[in-house]
Homo-oligomer: A and B are copies of this chain.
Amino acid sequence: MIFVDKLVKKIKNKKSHIVIGLDPVIENFPKQFRSNISSLSSIGKKIWEFNKCVIDYTYDIVPAVKPQIAFYERYGIEGWIAFTKTVEYAKKKGLIVIEDAKRNDIGSTAIAYSDGHLGRVKIKDKSVPIFDVDALTVNPYLGSDGIMPFIKDVVKYNKGIFILVKTSNKSSFEFQDVLVNYKNKNIKFYELVAKLVNIWATYCTGDFGYSSVGVVVGATFPKEATKLRKILPKSYFLVPGFGVQGGRAEDMVRFFNPDGFGALISSSRGIIYSNLYDELEKGNKFDIAIRNSTLRMNESINAILSKNNLLHW
């Protein structure tokens, strides 16, 4: 089954449009995950323990997790080991794993990235998967030479990519919002990127009408999302920036299609830190707290979709 079909099915099964961002920041971990940290290897272990708990108490109520690789890479080899364990475990628990790595390069170098994250590497006569995540975020700045190697593996191995289009940060306007001339009309740069992505998206469309070539659109830009929804009807939107960064539940409807699908709202700090702490302060144990924190976000997204007649399980 192709990636995007797997994703939509899981979303329907779990009745959740949420992806939990696994962005481990030791300093923000609840107390029980902060003891005995004296080496990189102990940090790696704590990250893995924390992620395992988050997965154990939420895997049945969300379709996917999104580890942000920077927070693992920061701790070197030990971080990569924690990442690998997390990916394996999340997949075993039936979760879709979207690696947020924003990788980008050209030709044989892009192939090397794709081999490692999505595809296979050759060892003698065997083809072996390495990180083997379900989907990867990629940066489009280098053009199609930098995207096609990933799309090849999307097709070959039923994987997905999410291409950065409009990012959630304040300064994203500096390059992404500049006006460019396109067929004698002025459009914004991110719209130009979206138009090219929409061509790439035709390579891998599934049973629900969506493509395994998705995009990243920040929750902080709902007006832009409305425009992008029109340019990119087939692409799934991976939407970071909800909650702590400023994205509001009532705006999320703009990221969805009329069929009630097409957007995967990501929350990292919201679920695994701030809401979690609220719950812990109420006296709940970690298992209940992380679950409540996730359910709360599920409910807020589903409520707003329902209010707009967009809840179509």
Q: Bits for A101-144, please: 1 = Cβ < 8 Å to B, else 0.
A: 01111111110110111000111100010110000000111111
Q: Number of contacting residues on A, CB 8 A?
A: 70
What residues of chain B lie closer than 8 Å to A257, measured between beta carbons? none
A171 lies within 8 A of chain B by Cβ: yes
A293–B180 CA distance with the chains assembled, in angstroms: 44
A43 lies within 8 A of chain B by Cβ: yes
A287 lies within 8 A of chain B by Cβ: no
What residues of chain B lie closer than 8 Å to A23, measured between beta carbons? 109
A53 lies within 8 A of chain B by Cβ: no
A74–B124 CA distance with the chains assembled, in angstroms: 15
A23–B182 CA distance with the chains assembled, in angstroms: 37
A37–B170 CA distance with the chains assembled, in angstroms: 48
Contact B70 A113 (CB under 8 A): yes
Contact A121 B74 (CB under 8 A): yes
Contact A40 B123 (CB under 8 A): yes
Stretch at the interface among A5-13, A75-83, A226-234, A300-308: A75-83
A155–B37 CA distance with the chains assembled, in angstroms: 29
The one of B37, B110, B117, B141 that contacts A139, using a Cβ cutoff of 8 Å: B141
Contact A70 B105 (CB under 8 A): yes
Contact B141 A175 (CB under 8 A): yes
Q: Bits for A192-211, please: 1 = Cβ < 8 Å to B, else 0.
A: 11001000000000000000
Contact A84 B74 (CB under 8 A): no
What residues of chain B lie closer than 8 Å to A139, measured between beta carbons? 102, 104, 139, 141
What residues of chain B lie closer than 8 Å to A84, measured between beta carbons? 76-77
Contact B128 A142 (CB under 8 A): no
Output the least CB separation between A160 and chain B (Å). 19
A71 lies within 8 A of chain B by Cβ: yes
What residues of chain B lie closer than 8 Å to A142, measured between beta carbons? 164, 167, 169, 171-172, 175
A32 lies within 8 A of chain B by Cβ: no
Q: Bits for A163-201, please: 1 = Cβ < 8 Å to B, else 0.
A: 010011111111110111110001001001100100000
A299 lies within 8 A of chain B by Cβ: no
A270 lies within 8 A of chain B by Cβ: no
With both beta carbons as reference points, the residue of chain B lying nearest to A196 in the complex is identified as: B174
A77–B7 CA distance with the chains assembled, in angstroms: 28
A259 lies within 8 A of chain B by Cβ: no
19 pairs of residues in contact across A and B, judged by CB atoms under 8 Å = A38-B123, A40-B123, A70-B113, A71-B109, A73-B117, A74-B112, A74-B121, A75-B116, A76-B80, A76-B84, A77-B81, A102-B104, A104-B104, A139-B139, A141-B176, A145-B170, A146-B169, A175-B192, A178-B180
List the 5 closest pairs (A to B, CB-CB), nearest first.
Answer: A143-B171, A143-B174, A74-B116, A70-B112, A106-B169
Q: A43-B123, A140-B175, A178-B181 are in contact. List 11 more A-B contacts (CB 8 A).
A: A37-B124, A40-B128, A68-B112, A74-B130, A77-B77, A102-B105, A104-B104, A141-B164, A141-B176, A143-B174, A178-B180
